[in-house]
Amino acid sequence: MSASTTSHRLYKALFITLLLVFALVYLAPLYVMLTTSFKGIEEIRNGNILALPTTLNGSAWSKAWSSACTGGDCYGLAPYFWNSMRIVLPAVFISTVIGALNGYVLSQWRFTGSNFLFGALLFGCFIPFQVILLPMAKLLAWLGLANTVPGLVLVHVIYGVAFTTLFFRNYYVGIPTELVRAARLDGAGFFAIFRHVFLPLSAPIIVVSIIWQFTQIWNDFLFGVVYSGPGTQPITVALNNLVNTTMGGKEYNVDMAAAVIAALPTLVVYLVAGKYFVRGLTAGAVKG
């Protein structure tokens, strides 16, 4: 074996070790969360934080889901989980549809000022949430949507459209305009061309849009805490309340189970559609 192969192997082993260490450090909190959530409260107090649970105890999970106290109520995270779903699903759907149509118009049906409009929409991606808190609260109150699920949907749609438009516009700009011209000569109108020619091409970018929007909206805390009422709080707000509500001692196992429950949907979305996400993000760079 030559010297160069030996040193090459050494480097490779070094890199892999390094990567493993990073991965371990990154995954350690998740490990602690999962193990802690299956321990009893006595075991947590007396045992090592890194130790595996002696028995698999699911009581913390059921408590977190259905009976833990979040502020005054003690129904667990379940109602808030469904609140979040009621906010996220329509908001993701509406912002994706609007983004697709915007992108279609801005890339294929250019008009005077369309570039300016796109620039203005792009600007929306860079506005911090905090800046618009007060004016948006005023607007929601004026619309009669304060503290309601539709109000939160509206806020997330408005914020999301900037991103979804950007995604779809950049994806559609790679589709030759001659396709639109051919379809127009074939007698198809604006929506028929979108439905028959563009939509069937859009699967990768729709996945990108859905993952992005789902993650953003599901994980949102600020809008959720500011614009929700007692019955419309999303799960992120409920999780915060759950962790901060203490009756007697701190129940770390319940807190951990609740945190995993709150993170689970975004994890599932990534696992199911993750490979399309990467594919969709790079699709624009490849000529078909």
Partner 1 sequence: MGSIKIQQLTKSFGDTEVLKGIDLDIKDGEFLILVGPSGCGKSTLMNSIAGLEDVSSGDILIDGDNVTDLSPKERDIAMVFQSYALYPTMSVSRNISFGLEMRKVPKAEIAKTVADVSQLLQIEHLLDRKPSALSGGQRQRVAMGRALARNPRVFLFDEPLSNLDAKLRVEMRTEIKKLHKRLGTTIVYVTHDQVEAMTLADRIAVMKDGQVQQFGTPYEIYNNPANRFVADFMGSPPMNFIECVVLDDKLVIESQGEKFELHINHGERLKQAGVETVILGIRPEMITEPKPHVEGALVHSIPMQVDVTEPMGPDTIAFGQWNGTEIQARLSPEAGVEAQATGHVKVQVDTSKAVFFDAFSGARLDA
Q: Which residues bind partner 1 (CB under 8 A)?
A: 176, 178-179, 181-189, 192, 196-197, 200-201, 288
Q: Cβ 167 to partner 1, closest distance in Å?
A: 19
- Nearer Cβ to partner 1 (44/205): 205
Contact 281, 211 (CB under 8 A): no
Q: Report the C-alpha gap between 76 and 155 in whole angstroms.
A: 26
Tokens of 246: 């203490």
Q: Which of 95, 127, 121 has the alpha carbon at shortest distance from 212?
A: 95
Paired strand residues for 70: 73
Residue 32: how many CA atoms within 13 Å on its side-chain side? 13
The 3-state DSSP class for residue 19 equals helix
Q: Smallest distance from the beta carbon of 184 to partner 1, in angstroms?
A: 5
28/182 with CB nearer partner 1:
182
CB of 181 to partner 1, least distance (A): 5
Q: What is the DSSP letter of 113?
A: T
To the nearest whole angstrom, how small is the minimum distance from the Cβ of residue 178 to partner 1? Answer: 4
Amino acid letter, residue 264 = L
* Nearest to partner 1 of 192, 278 (CB atom): 192
Q: Which is nearer to partner 1, 85 or 201 (CB)?
A: 201
Asked whether 103 and 172 are in contact (CB, 8 A), the reply is: yes
Kindly tell me which of 128 and 187 has the beta carbon lying closer to partner 1: 187
CB of 195 to partner 1, least distance (A): 11
